[in-house]
Structure 1
């Protein structure tokens, strides 16, 4: 795994600089406000319309704006200032209050009524369906006070928690074990595309590549987002030259591909994503999809996928197949991946033993890098975990407290360390599927718990391994951690205020979901069914979850996953192929895989041959430019829509 050829290409794209700077100044503060109050509403709107925000676009638009202002002030943005603006944009666009939009839908949803769960959803998640706030479509109502306060408290603990166990594991895996973190340079390179000075831009490749991607994104965004939005304001029906979210083909193929969800998504961004993702991971995804297409008709014929019937579209087909087979099979595959990860951690730890690692480095902080004291980071982790446990005991007093302790102080550190090492070695995230869910079921079965409140509680099950990659990116860009901490302090209140205001504004404009928000209208019902189906497992009586869970199918998924990995390993095939295969098997909405494969093929067999290894650096910058162009089109669409609909609501 350590010497995989494809991973080796990603490993040496960037080296950490010798000098570090904070990058925090007045530009950063203005940038936070700009992102929170100008970019966030566009991102939230696009999330509801096409299913993806403008996260990368908002970051790049902010950087471009500030770079141009700096140029006219006869200065330029430093690399660290660019990264900090990028980092803050990511934090600001998290839109935590957007979760309230989902909660208001869930408590009123047909799925909740159909499964008989409406009355069981706790009032600290969302008021009951009889609340006046639903008629007025407003969060600024006393019935929403407790859900809002709880959300703010949980977010505050989460932001502090960011510098706890995740940072400790970064110091262990990066400084002590010196793991390569092959995917970190991919992210860091994208953030630095506009860090070139005004003089360098004439000869620098990053600005040119970014501009090409930006123009492509603008043109595509005009047809994909802007034209439907503007035409929908003028005509009764919007003009959609490109279908959102996909062309539905299931009913046309059901005669020869029964129980297979078919369709085609035309989001050009998937082509650029395919260029950036490791090639064999994408090909593995295609292989998994082909296996699914071939297997589903056979499974249907043998009565395994028995809930599917002709006439179903993608959403109904996917839900029926998950219920009959793929939920259990997916759990088994996930356990196989987790077992493989644990195996490699144990193996590499044995190889790295015998006193070869110097742990004293942990207690010698790098002053320029702004390192946090190792014991302070451990203290942050203990404090945040105890805070989560306290909130859970307050909200769900009937659930056994021992589970919360085991979540926070046993399971979380173990799975986080395994993931941190897998991210450091192979750039892969590891999770043990259904641990949270099975522990809830155990609490119900053996300790007499009855209810669904536990599913909404802020329980301390976290996987901090992924955070190590972000800290590695901070290091690669030469940004001092002190600047990042200051940025977090500024961003938090901006995020809280802007997210609440714009969630309220979007809900006031139209019910969510509704035809005005097509992605939410198309997919939220499926998401609600899958979410609530699981929650029936902790209620008395016959649970639909237990009907869907099958031990033989689960163990077959585990066995096939391990066997598949072992076979690929023996044949010397790329490590990432197996992860792609698992991703493709039983995938929820496979309609975008074809475009990803096209992107991967173009990158591998055309651009890589034409530009050589430099293409690895071009691809993420091109994707960033495309995202920026798409985001600008989305911002224009959001501007037209929000302004005209706001005028329509005025009293005159």
Structure 2
């Protein structure tokens, strides 16, 4: 638990100018984000760029923005960004329907018309403006809204538990808040540190990302100063540690994350990652355990090693470790949960802000879950309701508790999508259901509650009211969906997907189609003994109680977080942590106050540089598509 802090009084972040800037951001960045995703398979940060431009323009005219306005622009722009891609998923569905992969796996007859528009006219004319799209689009957007409701409710619940009652530190949210406050209040010393961080981020990013981008644009082979995202050193150690993965991440922000979060957390994540990806993988190969030992070869890259070892060996232990990391702190600190529930059920007499009472949180969450289950049951009537209730309620609750605590303690979250295919295969097989139609839909499973909880912490630190924060998101949501629809349709009209005009779709969509088909038809090995889950649960639970009895500073969430962290990121985070310890020893409290602002500056500098570089790429690539 962190020491008591004094927070600024909450103010509304929803003002005329902040909403206008948010609209401009959505209009300006939606096509850029969509195109970049279709070209590279990734997205980029827009929140910091939007706020930086907004803050500098208003400061020039003597009307600096408030920190509350900064919160909604930095965080909500980033959250809404994922909506930009919602319609590209529908185009992928259309591709899958007509792909040779689906025909090869004989899944085409099982594809329902509520999942994708089946008219050949849609594929030929490349349009969403067809009546066959009405049901698939309605279900897709409707489930997105239900998931949003569930995520917000889970965020409010974990906010009360981890922010108001248990008071976890949330180290990376301090970075965001410090950057926002520095750009709005502009205290001289903090601005000096922020500027230093910005320059550091700009220079580092220009070298790491700019050189290969610019050289490739001029027709040369891309010249890289350092590989992205990491140096893969695995082959160097395979002679004496076969199976192990090894590398160093090259992103500046990974190093700086290690400087900000607690060194105990850094060490815990490193130890857990090392135990799995280096020692564990080596033992798998040495003793011939699991299918991974048969598929491994000398020189196997980190990406392949990660995916294969997780599929065949580590998913079961990860589930067990995650369950223990979620449940044990609640059992041990059950009074925190009790206090949080009581706090949500009472009339609050202090100055802390509340959005909804516990009864409303549970009612809205239940509404979203039950509504989604009823729709799934109507579409897939043979699938048992009891399993949907367990997954929709149980998964949402346990996953949110785990990830919100992980963010609060370590500053790092866990990515749910990597776990979903194996988890779905597991719970579908438990029901005995044989149909493939259930693979095309799920009831609401909340995995975004921790992100809302983290952003509520930024609201607290920077003085933004949660009501205005949620209102801004709700107002921005339909705009993001509308802009995404318009620009996705425009890009689809320009060229087919997949095609060379959108390289990412050419590379990743066929692979995604193969993976999807293999999971659906049971061609992917998913079996792992239940003993792996139980053994990991018992081991992590025992480590937790040992740490509590001996007062070892071991945050239990570092175990599943470290297991899910690629070893290059864990190593670079450790390097950053060691540098931070050296700086703290040399500069003491001065460094501890400056490190979050410095990291915020580096984040801003990196975001601005990458956005600028991608703008150049976007213009150059667009010119190549012109007919002259």
Same-fold status (TM-score > 0.5) = yes
1:591 aligned partner:
568
Q: Which whole-Å CA distance do the structure 2 matches of 1:313 and 1:45 have between them?
A: 29
1:316 and 2:304 aligned: yes
Q: Give the paired residue count.
A: 620
Q: 1:499 aligns with which of 484, 487, 502?
A: 484
* Matched position secondary structure for 1:457: coil
Shift of 1:209: 2.0
Q: 1:244 aligns with which of 212, 220, 228?
A: 228
- The answer (yes or no) to whether the contact 1:307–1:324 under 8 Å persists in 2 is no
Q: Which whole-Å CA distance do the structure 2 matches of 1:66 and 1:634 have between them?
A: 18
1:486 aligned partner:
471
The equivalences for 1:164-175 within 5 A come to 164-168=153-157, 170-171=159-160
Q: Identify if the C-alpha distance between structure 1 residues 572 and 580 changes in structure 2 by more than 3 Å, giving closer, same or farther.
A: same
- The answer (yes or no) to whether the contact 1:63–1:85 under 8 Å persists in 2 is yes
- The answer (yes or no) to whether the contact 2:169–2:409 under 8 Å persists in 1 is yes
Q: Which whole-Å CA distance do the structure 2 matches of 1:269 and 1:412 have between them?
A: 30
* Matched position secondary structure for 2:82: coil
Q: 1:179 aligns with which of 162, 166, 170?
A: 166
Shift of 1:228: 2.5
* Matched position secondary structure for 2:240: coil
2:618 aligned partner:
642
1:33 and 2:23 aligned: yes
1:451 and 2:429 aligned: no
2:176 aligned partner:
190
41-50 or 442-451, larger mean C-alpha shift: 41-50
1:580 aligned partner:
558
Q: Identify if the C-alpha distance between structure 1 residues 352 and 51 changes in structure 2 by more than 3 Å, giving closer, same or farther.
A: closer
1:5 aligned partner:
none
596-605 or 254-263, larger mean C-alpha shift: 254-263
TM-score (norm 1): 0.79
Shift of 1:215: 1.2
Per-residue CA deviations over 1:529-565 (Å, capped at 9, x if unaligned) read 776655445xxxxx6434x423344444334433444
Per-residue CA deviations over 1:478-537 (Å, capped at 9, x if unaligned) read 32233223312321122213334455567767966979868x988888877776655445
Q: Which whole-Å CA distance do the structure 2 matches of 1:246 and 1:443 have between them?
A: 36
The equivalences for 1:411-430 within 5 A come to 412-413=396-397
* Matched position secondary structure for 2:10: coil
Q: Identify if the C-alpha distance between structure 1 residues 238 and 454 changes in structure 2 by more than 3 Å, giving closer, same or farther.
A: same
2:55 aligned partner:
67
1:208 aligned partner:
192
1:275 aligned partner:
259
Q: 1:104 aligns with which of 81, 85, 92?
A: 92
Shift of 1:47: 5.9
Shift of 1:16: 2.7
Q: Which whole-Å CA distance do the structure 1 matches of 2:104 and 2:342 have between them?
A: 58
Per-residue CA deviations over 1:21-47 (Å, capped at 9, x if unaligned) read 213212112221222122345555666
Q: Identify if the C-alpha distance between structure 1 residues 115 and 563 changes in structure 2 by more than 3 Å, giving closer, same or farther.
A: farther
Q: Which whole-Å CA distance do the structure 1 matches of 2:60 and 2:323 have between them?
A: 55
The equivalences for 1:117-132 within 5 A come to 120=110, 122=112, 124-125=114-115
- The answer (yes or no) to whether the contact 2:330–2:337 under 8 Å persists in 1 is no
Q: Which whole-Å CA distance do the structure 2 matches of 1:509 and 1:633 have between them?
A: 29
- When the two chains are superposed, the root-mean-square deviation of aligned CA atoms in Å is 4.3
Per-residue CA deviations over 1:582-635 (Å, capped at 9, x if unaligned) read 4334x57433332222111111222x2234345344333322222222222222
Q: 1:602 aligns with which of 579, 582, 590?
A: 579
1:474 aligned partner:
459
111-120 or 241-250, larger mean C-alpha shift: 111-120
- The answer (yes or no) to whether the contact 2:174–2:596 under 8 Å persists in 1 is no
Q: Which whole-Å CA distance do the structure 2 matches of 1:99 and 1:544 have between them?
A: 28
Q: 1:630 aligns with which of 588, 603, 606?
A: 606
1:21 and 2:11 aligned: yes
For structure 2, the residue ranges without an aligned partner over 5 or more in a row are: none
